[in-house]
Amino acid sequence: MNAKLKIAIQKSGRLSDDSLQIIKECGISFHNGIGKLKAEATNFPAEFLFLRDDDIPGYVADGVAHIGIVGENVLVEKGKQVETVHKLGFSKCRLSIAVPKGARYLGPASLQGKRIATSYPRLLGQFLASHQVQADIHEISGSVEIAPGIGLAEAICDLVSSGSTLFTNGLEEVETVFRSEAVLIAQPQLPADLKELLGQLLFRIKAVQAAKNNKYILLNAPQAKVERIASLIPGMKSPSIMQLARPGWVSLHSVINENDFWAVIEALRAEGAEGILVVPIEKMIV
C-alpha cells in the first residue's frame, strides 16, 4: 500500500478556518461531510483527522496522526514528544497574567501566596518558578476570566489576543508568560516515505507563505535612473528590465517584501519611478 500522511487539524474552533485555508492554498482538496471525523484528500496522499486541539499533540506523539496543526500554547502545555516542523503565522496570541484593574501589582513577587486561576498550569508553573514565586495554581478548564469576580482567585493566567475579554471583565494584563502561534508538528522518527510527503507539504506551505509576504511590482523609469531604481528592488535574483516604446524609458519588474513595502515605494518615487503597479502573488518558489 502506498504511504498516506495522516494530518490532525482542529475540528472546530479558532484554528480550524486558517488550518483548512492553508491546506486549500497548498492545492489539497477533500470532501468533508458535516460532523465527519475523517476525510480523505482527493489529490494528495493524505487523510485528515478532525480533533479537539488539546488532543492533537497526544495523537501525533502516539502515531495516530503523523502530523498536526496546533497552537504552541497547547503543544508546550501538553509536553508531548513531538517535533515542531514549521511556524504557520496564524492564531497568534499570548498567555498572560491579569489582575483586577487597580489592584496593587509591583512585579511577579506580588503573586506570592496568591491564588491564580488558569487552564495552563504547566506554563504558569514554569513562569512562577523562574521568578521564585510560590502561588496556588487553581486549574479550571474555561471561563477563566470570571474567576476573580466570583472570588475564586486573585489573578488569572489566560490567552489574550485583542485584550477585550480582560477589559470587559475589569482585568488588567500585567505579565506575558508565553507567546504563541499555530505550528505544524510531526511525530518524531517518521518513516522515510511519510517524511517525503511531509517534505512535499512543507514545500507548498513555504511557497504559499512566501507569496503572502511578497508582492509583484511593475514600474516605469527613466533610462538614466535604471541602476539606482533596480538597486531598490533587487527581487529574487534581479529585476527584469524591458525597453518601453517611448525612447529613454524602461519598465522594471520585480518582487518586494510586504514589510518594507511603503519605504520602498517612497524611495522609488523619489528616484523618478512612475506608473507603479503592485500585484498579489499566488505562489512563490524561491
Q: Where along the sequence are the contacts to Zn ion (CB under 5 A)?
A: 53-54
Of the candidates 49, 52, 39, 47, the residue with the CA atom closest to the CA atom of residue 13: 52
Q: What residues contact residue 50 under an 8 Å CB cut-off, 6+ apart? A: 9, 10, 11, 12, 32, 36, 37, 38, 39
Q: Where are the beta strands (DSSP E) in 16-130?
A: 38-40, 46-51, 67-71, 83-87, 93-100, 115-118
- Compute the least distance from the CB of residue 91 to ligand PRT, in Å: 4
Could you give the string, one character per residue 130-169, with x where binding to ligand PRT holds by CB under 6 A and - elsewhere? ----------------------------xxxxxxxx----
- Compute the least distance from the CB of residue 121 to ligand PRT, in Å: 15
Report the run of H or E that residue 171 belongs to, with start and end.
strand 171-180
| Cβ(8)–Cβ(82) below 8 Å | no
Chosen from ligand PRT, Zn ion, none, partner binding at 200 (C-beta under 5 to 8 Å by type)? none
The single-letter DSSP state of residue 75 is: H
- Compute the least distance from the CB of residue 71 to ligand PRT, in Å: 2
Q: Does 78 help bind ligand PRT (rule: CB under 6 A)?
A: no
Residue 53 or 154 with smaller CB distance to ligand PRT: 53
Residue 161 or 176 with smaller CB distance to ligand PRT: 161
CA distance 133 to 157: 15
Among positions 52, 131, 179, 269, the unique one binding ligand PRT when judged by CB under 6 A: 52
Q: Does 73 help bind ligand PRT (rule: CB under 6 A)?
A: yes
- Compute the least distance from the CB of residue 158 to Zn ion, in Å: 13
* Per-residue 3-state assignment (H helix, E strand, C coil) for 202-232: HHHHHHHHHHHCEEEEEEEEEHHHHHHHHHH
Look at residue 55 and give its three-state secondary structure. helix
Stretch that binds ligand PRT, among 50-58, 132-140, 222-230, 271-279 (CB under 6 A): 50-58
| Interface positions with ligand PRT (CB under 6 A) | 10, 13-15, 52-54, 71, 73-74, 91, 93, 158-165, 180
